[in-house]
A and B are shown apart, each in its own frame.
Chain A
Amino acid sequence: MKTKILVIEDNEQNIYLVSFILEKYGYQVVQARNGAEGIEKAQQEKPDMVLLDIQLPVMNGYEVAQELRKGKELKTTPIIAITSYAMPGDREHALEAGCSGYIEKPINPDTFINQITGYFDSQARGDSTL
């Protein structure tokens, strides 16, 4: 059974890029292009990880993270925030919203996979932050 990763991202190129890498490395990718869709798909698909873009339209990433955490399905699922660290306190904000970790944009294609697998390990170990 392939590991299922839910990617919530509104930028077409970004979502294509992330999906390409993940799939290349053998993950199953579920796409959502906005927060509402993301939450819906999360409930439906029950992914093993959520990659969440913070800069989303309508419902921002933090809110989505909070919503996802409310649902019983994703209590322990790693939610990784992908953020461009625009505002001071973005990191903290992400963590407070319920994200397990964060990756900085633009993503480094060389290290990306390593970064996220790290979270699986930490999940296994019981850590929620890196």
Chain B
Amino acid sequence: MWRRIFLLTIAILCFSLISWTQAQKQKIVRVGVYENPPKIYTDSNGTVTGFWPAILNDIAQKENWQIEWVHGTWDEEVAYLQANKIDIMPDMGWTEERSQEFTFSNDTVLSSWSRLYVKKGSPIQTILDLDGKKVAGLSGSVNFDGPDGIKDLATRLGIHCTFVGLDSYMAIFEALQNKEVDAGVINKEFGDLNESQFSVTRTSIIIQPMNLRFAFTKDGTSTPYLVQTVNADMQELKNNSNSAYYKAIDQYLGEKPPKTIVTIIPTWVYILFLNGALIILFLVVVSITARRQIRQQTAKLWKSEARNRALVENDPDEIFRLSRGGILLDYHSGLASSLYSLSEDLLGKSLLELLPKELAEATLNHVEKAIEANATQVFEYSVPSGGEVQDYESRFSPNGKDEVIVIVRDITVRKQAERKLVESEKRYQTLTSVVPVGIFHTNKDGETTFVNPTWCQISGMSEEEALGEGWLQAVHPDDRERLLAGWQESTEEMTTSTADYRFMHPDGSIAWVIGQAVPEVNSENEVVGYVGTITDITERKKIEDLKAEVIRAESADKLKSAFLATMSHELRTPLNSIIGFTGLLLQKLVGPLNGEQEKQLSMVQGSAYHLLELINDVLDISKIEAGQIVVFRENFDVGTAIQKSVANILPMAEEKNLKVITTITPEEIQIYSDRRRLEQILINLLNNAVKFTERGEIRLGCKVEEDWLHIWVSDTGIGIKPEDRQILFRPFQQIDIGISRQYEGTGLGLSICKRLVELLGGQIQVESEWGKGSTFSFTLPMRSENNEN
């Protein structure tokens, strides 16, 4: 391709060179033309021709001028030349006068004179014979009107003629022939050429010898160049006897008939010739270049051939060429043993001869396929060998329609790796499906590409929903931003991201998870995706929450506890004094007391005790409600506790004349429980019994049944109405039994009893008949769960 371009460029250059040169140097020269055959005239075709034009044309061609002929009369032409409307005026006679006005070429181009012609048979022989005659001449012509012209001569010689000015020499001849004039002044050239056409006689009278030259505008811009050029060219023309000058003389001024040889070669011929030469040059160059190209190509091919040979011979595969019919055309192998295991000696033999039937047929099959499809076919073969499997890859490449190039490569290693990979993949799949941790994969943009079943279980979202950006929807809305922000950060730093966040299941339940994502990085250290796990920590979170709650509760409890302790202490302290001092006084340790003093002091002490009781009850119920009661369990004897409690209320009972009967069976009952609380319960019940009984007795009994202690307190008191039994154990409920509240009490006693009994693990109940009496009974476990009695 480069060659073609090169040659085309050459051609273009040549052509443009020619036209350029032509265009560049072509100069327009204006030349005046007037009618003066044969020297200068316009022929019937309109072509300017004649002696002068011939010379000028020759010069023009040589100088690459383009002549512009400017037509006019002699006078007009002279005027044009003066005004530089024309550059050159040919056929101008040199005179001293004129040389002032115009610039002339150096040499005389043509010598000329004028003759007198007379009509045929005219007696005129000398100039003196013109006296009294009619003489015609060319108006304005120098031979007529100019200095040394006929008129001038006649004047100088004293000849009197009648002069008739005519327009052309032809007119003069005609006038002579018509005998209108006697004589006519004709220039030699015209005369030579045309005298034979008219019946006129040439006289020997000649006048005005002239040196005819080219005239140029005196101060014209082109004049110096033109003058120099014309002078030089004229010199040359004159020196060469075969030049256009002499030819022009012969043709226009001589008597010989003008030759018909074309002496001017048109420009286009030159151009054609030049172009032809260039084309030939061009073709020569092409042929040389082409030859060199061919040599180079051939050398390249040889090199390529050598290289390919080297390649094939160094290739460790089996390479061979097979014909379509299965003939081995070429063979090379870098392996000791391979799929085909042929050799170079077997070239020319058919595969069917050389190989096991199956392999040969299969191979030929592939050959056909490759040629038909006109494309490389690739096949894999597995050959079992000694317990292992050898894998080969064969490529059948068609080489035209008749043969195939086969390349066989041992891909055992690759195959093994592939198999291992598949196995590994499978193993991974199995693992991810059973592992109790959620596993997910994402691409580098964080879009989920895989989640395992456990993930779906934990998040409450199916795999399809989770793919792409879907997984985010499973994340609790409050956690999404935080999670993504954290992930973003880790991505930038290519570190593992860890976060704990929540999944919200479709049913609204929450699962707390710890998620970890690790970036997967390729060999160029670019992140290609993420692999991560989520672990369900909902249980753990619950425990943490509980712990927090416990701590909160405990601190609240501590406050309550402190409060109650303070109240307990503060309230009891003043009572210490009241009870104590009244006691001392009543014991008469401070001095004797009269009846009234004793009575009144008793009342004070009584009130103080009552107040203490109230305080104790209030604090008790407060503690119970606040869960501040701590049960102190110990082994103790029930009987002793009962007796102690009875002894406590005995004075009160005796005062009301009530009998108190205690029945304890067996006599020794060991219980593992809170002694103090048991006493408290008993005292409470006994107190109530005494309070609500006016006459009769109070019975207290107990028994042991299996692992339970039963105790009951019966009285013969007022009893309890059925409808009142509901509210009996409620705090601050005192059954309204009349107009006034006869019975003192806090209203807390029974509710405290109930709570205490329950605290100890037992139950309390009441049986009663309104007006007859009541029996309060309760049970207690003999021992607690983790106790050895």
**Interface check B577, CB cutoff 8 A:** yes
B561, B564, B572, B629: the one within 8 Å of A106 (CB): B572
Q: How far is the CA of A107 from the CA of B609 in the complex (A)?
A: 11
Interchain CA distance A24-B588 in the complex, whole Å: 11
A55-B569, A109-B584 known; A88 and B630 CB under 8 Å?
Answer: yes
Binds B, one of A27-35, A68-76, A79-87, A115-123: A79-87
Q: Give the Cβ gap from A115 to chain B, nearest Cβ, in Å.
A: 13
Residue contact A86 to B564, C-beta cutoff 8 Å: yes
> Which of chain A's residues have a CB closer than 8 A to the CB of B566?
86
- The interface on chain B, measured as residues whose beta carbon lies within 8 A of the other chain's beta carbons, has a size of 25
Question: Cα distance A85–B628 when bound, in Å?
Answer: 13
A-B residue pair count with CB separations less than 8 angstroms: 68
A20 to B585, CA, bound (A): 11
Residues of B close to A55: CB separation below 8 A: 569
What residue in chain B is nearest A24 (Cβ atoms)?
B589
Q: Please report which residues of chain A, range 90-113, place their CB below 8 angstroms from some CB of chain B when the two chains form the complex.
A: 91-92, 105-110
Complex Cα–Cα for A86 and B623 (A): 10
Q: B553-570: contact bitstring with A at CB < 8 Å (1 yes, 0 no)?
A: 000000001001110110
Asked if A21 contacts B569 (CB within 8 A), the reply is no
Report whether A106 and B630 are in contact in the complex, using a CB–CB cutoff of 8 Å.
no
| Contact in complex: B569, A86 (CB < 8 Å) | yes
CA of A13 to CA of B612, assembled, Å: 17
Contact with A along B563-592 (1 / 0, CB 8 A): 011101100110111011111100101100
Query: Which residue on A lies nearest to B575, using beta carbons?
Result: A106
Establish whether residues B565 and A87, one from each chain, have CB atoms under 8 Å apart when the complex forms.
yes
Residue of A nearest to B582 (CB): A109
A3 to B490, CA, bound (A): 82
The answer to whether A106 and B576 have CB atoms under 8 Å apart is yes
Q: In the complex, are the beta carbons of A20 and B576 less than 8 A apart?
A: no
| B632 in contact (CB, < 8 A) | yes
Residues of B within 8 A of A110 (CB): 583, 587
B584 touches A17 (CB 8 A): yes
Whether A92 contacts B579 by the Cβ 8 Å rule is no
Please give me the residue from chain B that is nearest to A83 by CB atom: B569
Q: Does A14 contact B (CB under 8 A)?
A: yes
**A21-B589, A86-B568, A87-B565 as given contacts; A108 in contact with B629, CB under 8 Å:** no
Decide: A88 and B628 in contact? CB cutoff 8 A. yes
Q: Which residues in A have their C-beta under 8 angstroms from that of B582? A: 109
| A109 with B628: CB separation less than 8 A | no
Cross-chain contact B629 with A109 (CB below 8 angstroms): no
CB pair A13–B577 under 8 Å, yes or no, is: yes
Inter-subunit contact B580/A106 (CB<8 Å): yes
Q: Report whether A86 and B565 are in contact in the complex, using a CB–CB cutoff of 8 Å.
A: yes
Q: Encode A1-21 as 1/0 by CB contact (under 8 A) with B.
A: 000000000010110010011
Given known A-B contacts A17-B584, A24-B589, A92-B632, A105 and B561 have beta carbons under 8 A apart = no
Given the known interface contacts A20-B589, A84-B569, A86-B564, the answer about A106 and B579 at a Cβ–Cβ threshold of 8 Å is yes
Task: Give the nearest-CB partner of A55 in chain B.
Answer: B569
**A binding-site residues for B, Cβ under 8 Å:** 11, 13-14, 17, 20-21, 24, 55, 84-89, 91-92, 105-110
The 3 A-B residue pairs with the shortest CB-CB distance in the complex, in nearest-first order? A109-B583, A88-B630, A106-B576
Residues of B within 8 A of A (CB): 561, 564-566, 568-569, 572-573, 575-577, 579-584, 587, 589-590, 612, 628-630, 632
Provide 16 A-B residue pairs closer than 8 Å at the C-beta atoms, listed in order of the A residue: A13-B581, A14-B577, A20-B584, A86-B566, A89-B632, A105-B572, A105-B576, A106-B572, A106-B576, A106-B580, A107-B576, A109-B580, A109-B582, A109-B583, A109-B587, A110-B587
